[in-house]
Amino acid sequence: MPSRPDRPASFRYVARVYAVALAGAWLAWWIAPFGPQGTLLAGLVTASAVVYAAILRADNGSVFDAWWSVLPPFAALWLTGLSEADGLTPRQVAVLAVVWFWGVRLTSNWARGWPGLDHEDWRYVDLAGKWPLPGWAVRLVAVVGFPTFVVFLGCLPLHPALTQGDAGFGPLDILALATGLAATALALVADEQMWSFARTKQPGDLMDQGLWRLSRHPNYLGEIGFWVSLWLFALSASPGAWWTGIGALAMILMFRLASIPMLDERSHERRPAFAAYAARTPALVPWPRRPSA
């Protein structure tokens, strides 16, 4: 791999990395001697280990960016294979439709905006500058380890949703399906609006139109809604799986306590009008806008 690969070469590198990572995950899912949840974690960790090695080789944490949206759809396929149902049940079809719609949308959004391996996400650079740890440790803990654990928690509802309960498709399934599709569509529209704005913006310009007029992070609101929908599917399949809601809770806490504060701090530094925008616009859930001061 060249020291500063161009964008096509960067995508070829990442594609090879993820092919190996998915093969490793699939192998772990089929041979790990644990229960379903432990085996799920083993596969995710195996894939993360492969990507982490590639991060060190490329010296770029952004190799991990697509992991978030690539692994859950394949985990859902593996878990579907554990079901004893004769053919796909309506619930399984609905869960797979939601997960794959989400995964394809998010991965596509990453792919069209990723400049390649000559660039590293500013958040990773910022963490490396602030944490009193060597770069390899920051990448292991913050770039790879923490997201792997959070995605594992988020995927916990997939096991009951895809392997438990009868084939019936009830009102809670309908709510879960509508929530998952609507949340992913919300994130899609929000990102499209931001892409349109980014093509013409000038330094310091502020996005305050469309969905971004109602919420500072409508794409994150859609992301949270997707993980909530998986929990609703799990509840419909098995009410005793209520505890898997820890996944959606973990996502909410991550966005509210980490992702949103980091982005808002950066916007405060780069956009003079952001303070007034933040004062009148909620971080996630829209409500009537407060009047400008």
Q: What are the residues whose beta carbons fall under 8 Å from the beta carbon of 33, sequence distance 6 or more? A: none
DSSP letter for 83, please: -
In Å, the largest CA–CA distance within the chain is 62
Q: Rounded to an integer, what distance in angstroms lies between the CA atom of residue 218 and that of residue 282? A: 10
pLDDT above 70 covers a percentage of the chain that reads 96
Rounded-to-integer distance, Cα 58 and Cα 139, Å: 12
- Cα separation of 185 and 178, whole Å? 10
CA angle, 9 then 13 then 16, to 5°: 140
- pLDDT (0 to 100) of residue 3: 58
Distances (CA, A) of 74 to 3, 11, 83, 227, 243: 31, 20, 15, 16, 23
For residue 120, give every residue at least 6 positions away whose Cβ sits within 8 Å of its Cβ, in sequence order, or none. Answer: 60, 61, 62
pLDDT at 51: 97
Query: How would you classify residue 116: left for phi > 0, otherwise alpha for psi between -120 and 50, otherwise beta?
Result: left
Asked whether the predicted pLDDT for residue 59 surpasses 60, the reply is yes
Whether residue 126 has pLDDT greater than 90: no
For residue 184, name the pLDDT band (cuts at 50, 70, 90): very high
Which of 260, 265, 220 lies closest to 130 in space, CA to CA? 265
Q: Is 288 helix (H, G, I), strand (E, B) or coil?
A: coil
Q: How far apart are CA 79 and CA 71, in angstroms?
A: 12
Look at residues 263, 23, 46, 276 and name the one whose alpha carbon lies nearest to residue 148. Answer: 46
Q: How many helices (H) and strands (E) does the chain have?
A: 13, 0
What is the pLDDT at residue 245? 97
Mean pLDDT score across all residues of the chain: 92
pLDDT of residue 160 exceeding 90, the answer is yes
Q: Confidence class of residue 4 from pLDDT cuts 50, 70 and 90?
A: low
Segment 110-131 shows an average pLDDT of 85
- pLDDT tens digits, 219-247: 999 999 999 999 999 999 999 999 999 99
Which residues are CB-contacts of 203 (< 8 A; sequence separation ≥ 6)? Answer: 270
pLDDT given for residue 289 in this prediction: 60
pLDDT tier for residue 15 given thresholds of 50, 70 and 90 = very high
Q: Mean pLDDT across the stretch 94-119?
A: 95
107 confidence band (pLDDT: 50, 70, 90): very high
Round to the nearest angstrom and report the end-to-end CA distance of the chain: 53
pLDDT, mean of residues 165-190: 93
Tell me how far the alpha carbon of residue 251 is from its chain's centroid.
9
User: Averaged over 68-96, what is the pLDDT?
Assistant: 93
Question: Which pLDDT belongs to residue 120?
Answer: 87
Mean pLDDT of 174-203: 95
Average pLDDT over residues 79-106: 94
Q: How far apart are CA 31 and CA 24, in angstroms?
A: 11
